[in-house]
């Protein structure tokens, strides 16, 4: 294990605040001689799985965490100018139970506590604290705020509450971030930790990868807040120290507090979350009592459906195709999947809700056609089942189903009621800063006239997945302006630094999947 481990890092999924691309973080960790690293995005865990995979690929130990927002009172309180003044708190998952609890807290922050930000409160923090390590967070943490306001008694009260709940897994966090208030806070935090016998831990609240990325991060903050770099009242950190520092830099700054450095390694040793991939657990479909197994009911639906679609005496070709598909579905463990999809489509068709005929590879299944998941005869159009399910390529089935947009919610409500609201979720989607958009955003922040920004953006070819770098290679006029005009060069350089980062999160256009992965239950349907 390395001499120091970063435990407070914001990725690109701290939307328009973190400028660390997930794929770059473990690579940088290896370059700096660190073999573990945490991710602690603001209030969300969007990047947890990608971060885990990226770290594993590079041989770096992933530590899954979150910098949660804590409501000043109850998460249910939403009074202006009181309940929007939340505090920060770092939570790290020690094990898979801790990961599940962290996921639960973050989810409750959205479903019960959302008010400007997804907030938790002390009640659910205490309820779901098992398997979690807690750090007192940055200057926006409750302990820091109390100390900076001169309320030492309040700071002690807050710290002791967390110590009681988390025991040896609660740490007072001190930082090296170049912010003036932090120097004063560190002095008081050290005194508090000593008085209450709470261990210290050193972090750097890294929002970008390298020191030279500080300017791009300032531009990103301006995009988030709708400000310009020239605005005197814009949100700013007034420091270029919020980067992924080397162990040597951190050790040098905290040489008076070697225990704070050592504790980063001890915490990393404690954190051992392991994800399983490729293992899907479907919700249980309740079959009628007269059927011994789910397969028996499924087989009955298939047999009746084949006769309904092809007559009482289907051809051998039809029967052989049906038997083959049934055997594959059973072998791959997707009987329940077919039953669930059949169930909500059957509900829609029997309740006057328009359903599309089916799209995509699912239309290649004669069984899907037989039980009326789809209305396209794969035999008539020579459609291949193997494009949908193939024993040689294990992957989750994917039915594309269209519902009437005026009654789609009725189907969602039906699924929620049947399988449980806590087992139903629609999939999130992220709008990213594509080439043209990021040029316009950066130009506005840098006070470049709209006409100039518009001209640059229009030089980007209208190609799918085009990047600014590719556009410079393809468009000589754009390249000439980049090489001859300092303003254009600055805009494009900053834009390339931010290009492709997530800009906002939203609900996918009703596209969802059944699955339970990495401790999260997601059960809804595909209806693009």
Measured distance CA(23)–CA(196) in Å, rounded: 39
Pick the closest to residue 441 from 217, 224, 208, 212 (CA basis).
Answer: 224
Pick the closest to residue 395 from 291, 279, 313 (CA basis).
Answer: 279
Do 449 and 423 share a domain, yes or no? no
CB hemisphere CA count around 481 (13 angstroms): 18
**Residue 50 maps to a domain:** no
Domain with 379 in it: 294-427+515-523
**Residue 240 maps to a domain:** yes
Do 363 and 397 share a domain, yes or no? yes
Q: Is 242 helix (H, G, I), strand (E, B) or coil?
A: coil
Reported as type and span, the H/E element at residue 267 is helix 258-270
- For the chain, what is the radius of gyration of the CA atoms? 27
The backbone region for 320, taken as left when phi is positive above 0, alpha when psi lies in -120 to 50, beta otherwise, is: alpha
Do 423 and 453 share a domain, yes or no? no
Do 80 and 99 share a domain, yes or no? yes
**Residue 192 maps to a domain:** yes
Q: Which residues are CB-contacts of 378 (< 8 A; sequence separation ≥ 6)?
A: 363, 364, 365, 366, 369, 384, 385
Do 419 and 455 share a domain, yes or no? no
Answer whether 4's CB lies under 8 Å from 265's CB.
yes
Answer whether 364's CB lies under 8 Å from 374's CB.
no
The pair of three-digit structure tokens given for residue 298, joined into one six-digit string = 């499924």
CB hemisphere CA count around 217 (13 angstroms): 26
Reported as type and span, the H/E element at residue 157 is helix 152-166
Do 223 and 197 share a domain, yes or no? yes
Do 135 and 116 share a domain, yes or no? yes
Do 204 and 101 share a domain, yes or no? yes
**Residue 108 maps to a domain:** yes
Output the domain CATH number for residue 85. Answer: 3.20.20.140
**Residue 47 maps to a domain:** no
* Total number of domains constituting the chain: 3
Output the domain CATH number for residue 490. Answer: 1.10.10.1600
Do 486 and 382 share a domain, yes or no? no
Do 206 and 341 share a domain, yes or no? no
Do 321 and 461 share a domain, yes or no? no
The pair of three-digit structure tokens given for residue 96, joined into one six-digit string = 């898979």
Do 249 and 106 share a domain, yes or no? yes
Pick the closest to residue 63 from 88, 41, 89, 33 (CA basis).
Answer: 41
The tens-digit pLDDT sequence of the chain (528 residues) is 689 999 999 999 999 999 999 999 999 999 999 999 999 999 999 999 999 999 999 999 999 999 999 999 999 999 999 999 999 999 999 999 999 999 999 999 999 999 999 999 999 999 999 999 999 999 999 999 999 999 999 999 999 999 999 999 999 999 999 899 999 999 999 999 999 999 999 999 999 999 999 999 999 999 999 999 999 989 888 899 999 999 999 999 999 999 999 999 999 999 999 998 877 777 888 999 999 999 999 999 999 999 999 999 999 999 999 999 999 999 988 999 999 999 999 999 999 999 999 888 999 999 999 999 999 999 999 999 998 998 887 777 888 888 888 888 999 999 999 988 877 888 888 999 999 999 999 999 999 999 999 999 999 999 988 999 999 999 999 999 999 999 999 999 999 999 999 998 887 765 443 333 333 333 334 332
């Amino acid at each position: 294990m390395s001499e120091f481990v970063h435990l407070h890092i914001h990725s690109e999924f701290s939307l328009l605040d973190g400028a660390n691309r997930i794929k770059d973080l473990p690579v940088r960790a290896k370059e700096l001689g660190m073999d573990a690293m945490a991710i602690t995005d603001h209030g969300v865990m969007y990047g947890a799985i990608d971060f885990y995979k990226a770290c594993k690929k590079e041989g770096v130990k992933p530590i899954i965490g979150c910098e949660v927002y804590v409501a000043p009172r109850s998460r249910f309180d939403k009074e202006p100018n009181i309940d929007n003044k939340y505090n920060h708190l770092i939570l790290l998952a020690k094990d898979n139970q801790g990961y599940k609890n962290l996921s639960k807290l973050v989810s409750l922050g959205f479903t019960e506590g959302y008010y400007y930000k997804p907030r938790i409160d002390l009640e659910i923090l205490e309820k779901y604290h098992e398997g979690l390590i807690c750090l007192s967070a940055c200057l926006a943490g409750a302990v820091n705020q109390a100390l900076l306001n001169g309320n030492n008694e309040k700071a002690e009260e807050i710290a002791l509450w967390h110590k009681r709940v988390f025991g040896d897994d609660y740490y007072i966090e001190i930082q090296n971030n170049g912010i003036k208030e932090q120097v004063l806070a560190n002095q008081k935090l050290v005194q508090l930790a000593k008085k209450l016998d709470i261990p210290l831990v050193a972090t750097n609240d890294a929002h970008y990868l390298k020191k030279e990325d500080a300017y791009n991060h300032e531009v990103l903050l301006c995009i988030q807040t709708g400000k310009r770099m020239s605005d005197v009242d814009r949100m700013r950190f007034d420091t270029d120290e919020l980067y992924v520092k080397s162990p040597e830099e951190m050790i040098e700054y905290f040489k008076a507090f070697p225990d704070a450095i050592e504790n980063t390694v001890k915490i990393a040793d404690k954190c051992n979350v392991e994800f399983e991939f490729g293992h899907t657990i479907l919700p249980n479909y309740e079959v009628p009592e007269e059927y011994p197994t789910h397969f028996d009911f499924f087989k009955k639906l298939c047999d009746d459906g084949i006769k309904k679609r092809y007559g009482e005496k289907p051809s051998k070709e039809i029967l052989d195709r049906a038997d083959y598909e049934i055997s594959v579905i059973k072998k791959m463990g997707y009987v329940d999947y077919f039953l669930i999809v059949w169930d909500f489509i059957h509900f829609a068709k029997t309740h006057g809700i328009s359903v599309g005929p089916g799209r995509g590879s699912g239309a290649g299944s004669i069984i899907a056609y037989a039980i009326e998941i789809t209305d396209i005869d794969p035999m008539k159009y020579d459609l291949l089942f193997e494009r949908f399910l193939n024993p040689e390529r294990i992957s989750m089935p994917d039915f594309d189903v269209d519902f009437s947009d005026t009654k789609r919610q009725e189907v969602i409500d039906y699924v929620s009621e049947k399988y449980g609201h806590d087992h139903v979720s629609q999939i999130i989607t992220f709008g990213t800063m594509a080439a043209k958009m990021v040029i316009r955003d950066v130009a506005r922040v840098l006070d470049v006239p709209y006409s100039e920004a518009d001209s640059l953006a229009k030089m980007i070819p209208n190609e799918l997945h085009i990047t600014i770098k590719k556009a410079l290679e393809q468009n000589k006029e754009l390249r000439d302006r980049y090489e001859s005009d300092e303003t254009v060069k600055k805009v494009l350089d900053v834009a390339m630094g931010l290009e492709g980062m997530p800009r906002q999160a939203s609900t996918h256009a009703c596209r969802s999947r059944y699955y339970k992965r990495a401790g999260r239950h997601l059960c809804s349907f595909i209806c693009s």
